[in-house]
Amino acid sequence: MSSQSTFVRGAAILAAAGVVVRLMGAALRIILASPALLGDKGIGLYQMAYPIFSTLLTISTAGIPVAISKLIAENLALSNYKEAFRVFRISLAILILTGAVITAVLLGGADFIAGVIIQQPRAYYSLVAISPAIFFVTVMSAFRGFFQGRQQMLPTAISQLAEQLGRVAASIFLVISLLPRGLELAAAGASFGAVVGSVLGLAVLLAIYLWDRPQFQRQVSLKAPFKTAGFNEIISQIVKLAVPVTLGSLIMQLFTLIDLAIVPRQLQVAGFTEGRATALYGQLTGMASSVIYFPNVVVIALGVSLVPAISEALARGNRSLITSRTSIAVKITVLFSLPAAVGLYILATPITVLLFTFENVEAAAPLAALSWSVIALSLYITSTNIMQGLGYPSIPVLNMVCGGVVKSALCWILTANPSWNVIGAAVASLIGLTVAAILNLYYLARFTGWRFKVPELVVWPGISVTVMAAVAHIVYRGLLWLGALCFTPGLANGLAVLGAIVMAVITYGLALLLSGGLNRDDLNLIPKLGAPLIKLAERYHLLR
């Protein structure tokens, strides 16, 4: 397998696992929110623990796994196995300590957080129940970084599936078991599902690590002419990479909190009542935004695979390989994000009805406005991961700060305008992300020699996605009309959406082949399916 295929294969494995994990997560939310289980109030208690949990988890895990992945990839590229293993052991020790401390902080401060910060004492049990997950997820991230640094993505994918399966099964079982004892304990049971899932995910990774360790230890024992870095030097390397990555994740969460302060307030300035402003904010963040992040599964997986791939090429001094991998990554990002954005835009109303019922159809407007941010967010994520691999983790952070300031300023202005209202917040997010993405791409071109090729990234994908949009619209309308003759409106809409998506994917793929947007080299990168697809395309004269 070529070096190019290796990182694309890794991304494909993680993307497939990511899709399954997100679908399982969505199914869990739907099940738990049913009136027979937690209902609206219970799911509210369950959700209240997550912002605190995710913030603390970001502090403990966001940066160090990326540092592990990069440093191990660099050392392995030079066959310095001993140093790679030292990086892992030191990082594991740091993460065990960090996870234990932050878990203790959440356990000890749960009463204060529930009563003072969240101002909902009933959320105390959920906070206590979920806190051990921080420790196990933090330790698990060290092993994931170890395998990712070796460009082995399958262990991470398997552990993600095991973690989510354990979480879903445990959450449902515990909610059913604890519901007779009160809603607070039932919500805590749902939260404890994350602990069960993280233990299962960690157990899977430990099993794979112990099975693989003898082979790696044999490589470590080989004598190599390398100077061993001191403990302090390794710590310094980890910190220099980890701190900016962690700050970047925290800054994104910070601007989300700023939105929480701005949007409801400015909607009231625009003339909406407090209740109506809250409802509109819920449509933006609880519905539209949650849909927008789903298409980024592929891009996030690509990013995880990119960090060690770029680091390996950098360690070998292979600039042409860096440029090549950057070009492939950006092209994959555009080819996936563009149809996702257009599809969400033209099917915004049907998708909203499918996911959130007819009663919440208003959320289609912010979803349509936010849909285009899929492209900007995807390009930002990919370019950020490339720069992390190159050893420039601080630049994306500064670019996101610039984009976030633009976003917050526009959000303050536009949301207060009655004619824009919550759409203004969505447009502000789009513009802010676009600013951050453009700045990232500028620096990417400077550091890698990559160039933005208009035909490859705009013209051919643009033509293909236009054809796709027309077909998707026609198919949806046709299937909706047929479905209305036989099914309820909700079922007819759901079947029409699924049919339109299937036809859109087929049409987009064919249009890319016919226009030259996809060539033989691109198809060769697809794991397992590349060669058969090339033969099929050649048989029907689809390749230009």
pLDDT digits (tens, 9 = 90+) for 482-528: 999 989 999 999 999 999 999 999 999 999 999 888 888 777 777 66
Examine residue 504 and state whether it is found in any structural domain, yes or no: yes
Full 3-state SS string of 197-258: HHHHHHHHHHHHHHHHHHHHHHHHHCCCCCCCCCHHHHHHHHHHHHHHHHHHHHHHHHHHHH
Q: For residues 162 and 115, which has the higher predicted lDDT (pLDDT)?
A: 162
Q: Which DSSP string corresponds to 315-327? A: HTT-HHHHHHHHH
Domain boundary among 410, 428, 449: 449
**CB-based contacts of 123, cutoff 8 Å, min separation 6:** 45, 48, 49, 114, 187
For residues 470 and 332, membership in a common domain is answered with no
For residues 196 and 267, membership in a common domain is answered with no
pLDDT digits (tens, 9 = 90+) for 236-267: 888 888 889 888 888 888 888 788 788 888 99
Examine residue 534 and state whether it is found in any structural domain, yes or no: yes
Examine residue 324 and state whether it is found in any structural domain, yes or no: yes
Taking residue 63's Cβ as centre, other Cβ atoms within 10 Å add up to 26
Contact call for residues 334 and 381 (beta carbons, < 8 A): no
Dihedral over Cα of 313, 209, 302, 139: its sign: negative
Contact call for residues 176 and 32 (beta carbons, < 8 A): no
Examine residue 236 and state whether it is found in any structural domain, yes or no: no
pLDDT digits (tens, 9 = 90+) for 431-447: 999 999 999 999 999 99
Number of structural domains (the chain) is: 3
Q: How far apart are CA 8 and CA 303, in angstroms?
A: 10
Contact call for residues 314 and 322 (beta carbons, < 8 A): yes
pLDDT digits (tens, 9 = 90+) for 192-239: 999 999 999 999 999 999 998 887 777 766 655 556 667 788 888 888
For residues 221 and 251, membership in a common domain is answered with no
Examine residue 237 and state whether it is found in any structural domain, yes or no: no
Q: How far apart are CA 278 and CA 290, in angstroms?
A: 17
For residues 439 and 464, membership in a common domain is answered with no
Angle between helix axes 297-315 and 124-149 (nearest 10 degrees) is 40
Q: How far apart are CA 351 and CA 97, in angstroms?
A: 44
Q: Stretch 426-432: mean pLDDT, rounded?
A: 95
Domain boundary among 449, 470, 496: 449
Q: Which domain holds residue 147?
A: 1-229
- CB-based contacts of 262-271 (< 8 A; 24+ apart in sequence): 262/408, 262/411, 262/412, 262/415, 262/425, 263/411, 263/415, 263/422, 263/425, 266/411, 266/412, 266/415, 266/416, 267/415, 267/416, 267/421, 267/422, 269/416, 270/415, 270/416, 270/417, 270/418, 270/421, 271/418
For residues 148 and 277, membership in a common domain is answered with no
pLDDT for the residue 394: 92
pLDDT for the residue 225: 58
